[in-house]
Amino acid sequence: MALHRLTSVCIGVPNVAETAAYYEEFGLTRLDDDRFATVDGGEQLRIVHSPRRRVLELGVGVADPDDLDSAAARLAAAGVAASRIADAVTAVDPGTQVRVVISIADPVLQAAAPVIAQNAPGQADRGTARAEPIDRRDHVRPRKLGHVVLGSADLEASERFFTDGVGFKVSDSIADAASFLRCSTDHHNLLVQAAPVSFLHHTSWQVDDVDEIGRGATALLNKDPARHVWGLGRHHVGSNFFWYLKDPAGNFSEYYADMDCIIDDQLWKPEIWGDIRALYSWGPPVPGSFLAPDDLAELMAAAHGS
Ligand SMILES: [Fe+2]
């Protein structure tokens, strides 16, 4: 695969300092005023000023200069204007207005998470001992940026841009509504969904397991219960456990664990899902504000004014 990872995301918000403080609390490591790192992915988030909340830039990693040439050729063949700079190819998606930067990047090498012994019916694997997760006290630290979900004002154009142009593969889709796309072996690294205006729906950050999701989310909610959006639950498409929280600019941020992987493209059969049940296998009812964020009208007004 020419593409092998998401490298980083740059988010524009009106309230940089407040939003940056939130992501530090979320568990990212602050490198300086506006840049943040994950444990395994290195620098993966930048927060800059923008009159309305949005993604300004999304980074995708490739292995070598030949991959950059291929990406430039794909974008040209797809009729997309792209720039080749020293060691990157950049282009703007007309549907989401996001600038994509394809650059040469090291792979995300992840040390295997320790296997936690679990008791199950007829199988007392833990022996005579308390469960390990109950003694965790350290701050939850996301391992990597997993995926970004973008509202697109032109879904078809965005799908073409990201698949035919940039080189993402389609893992699954929801008819006329959204496409789950991957640039790695994760089920999805990007989801583009039809929307009346381009906006950032959420960024999603991988943690080791469902206990880390619970610990991370409850720590944030203990400080401010209004941050809750949706969770704990398990998605149907992608299979991951999730909990969504809201940053001070209105962007959702997700802790996730145990997402499907697509190791062998030949063995995966993309499906087209038809209704809301595709969204989750179990969890609280999906809140209306998850499907259409409360500030959508405000974002539309700001987009038309800018
Ligand atoms: Fe997600």
Chain segment 155-186, per-residue pLDDT in tens: 999 999 999 999 999 999 999 999 999 999 99
Strand intervals (E) in 74-122: 82-85, 88-92, 99-104, 119-120
pLDDT in tens, 274-286: 877 789 999 999 9
CA distances from residue 46 to 34, 38, 139, 186 in whole angstroms, order as listed: 5, 12, 21, 22
CA distances from residue 91 to 10, 71, 208, 296 in whole angstroms, order as listed: 15, 10, 33, 26
CA distances from residue 90 to 81, 82, 99, 150 in whole angstroms, order as listed: 9, 6, 7, 18
Average pLDDT of every residue of the chain? 96
124 C-alpha to ligand 1 centroid (Å): 33
What's the rounded mean pLDDT across residues 91-97? 97
256 C-alpha to ligand 1 centroid (Å): 7
202 C-alpha to ligand 1 centroid (Å): 7
DSSP structural state of residue 179: E
> What is the share, in percent, of the chain residues with pLDDT greater than 70?
99
* Per-residue pLDDT at 86: 82
127 C-alpha to ligand 1 centroid (Å): 35
> What is the share, in percent, of the chain residues with pLDDT greater than 90?
93
pLDDT in tens, 4-55: 999 999 999 999 999 999 999 999 999 998 999 999 999 999 999 999 999 9
Query: What radius of gyration do the chain's Cα atoms show?
Result: 19
DSSP structural state of residue 23: H
- Binning pLDDT at 50, 70 and 90, where does residue 306 land? low
106 C-alpha to ligand 1 centroid (Å): 24
What's the rounded mean pLDDT across residues 51-78? 96
pLDDT higher than 90, residue 263: yes
4 C-alpha to ligand 1 centroid (Å): 19
- Binning pLDDT at 50, 70 and 90, where does residue 95 land? very high
* Per-residue pLDDT at 1: 52
* Per-residue pLDDT at 303: 85
128 C-alpha to ligand 1 centroid (Å): 37
134 C-alpha to ligand 1 centroid (Å): 26
147 C-alpha to ligand 1 centroid (Å): 7
For ion ligand 1, residues whose CB falls within 5 Å: 204, 254
pLDDT in tens, 213-225: 999 999 999 999 9
- Binning pLDDT at 50, 70 and 90, where does residue 296 land? very high
240 C-alpha to ligand 1 centroid (Å): 8
CB neighbours of residue 1 within 10 Å: 14
> pTM value?
0.97
Contact 235, 280 (CB under 8 A): yes
* Per-residue pLDDT at 63: 95
